[in-house]
Amino acid sequence: MNSEKFRRRIIEDTGLSRKEINDIVEEKRVKLKGRISEELALLIIAKELAVIIEKDKDRCLDEWINKGVRNST
């Protein structure tokens, strides 16, 4: 659900199409060897495109960090 909110915000603020954003998400995930969720990829893309997404950002990052810590032990 959050990924759709993030995607819509990026579309609204940048004018990119859904397909363009999906392609960029896939490129990010491939580049990072699938180690990030779609939500985190969208947050990274938003940051790179200067799109401000404050709601749910901290929760998404916390989940990613916790998941990484669990997977590394």
Choose between 3 and 48: higher pLDDT: 48
In this predicted structure, the answer to whether residue 73 has a pLDDT above a threshold of 60 is no
pLDDT average, residue stretch 59-66: 62
Question: pLDDT tens digit string along 7-23?
Answer: 999 999 999 999 999 99
**Which residues have C-beta within 8 Å of that of residue 16, sequence separation ≥ 6?**
10, 24, 49
**Which residues have C-beta within 8 Å of that of residue 10, sequence separation ≥ 6?**
16, 21, 42, 45, 46, 49, 51
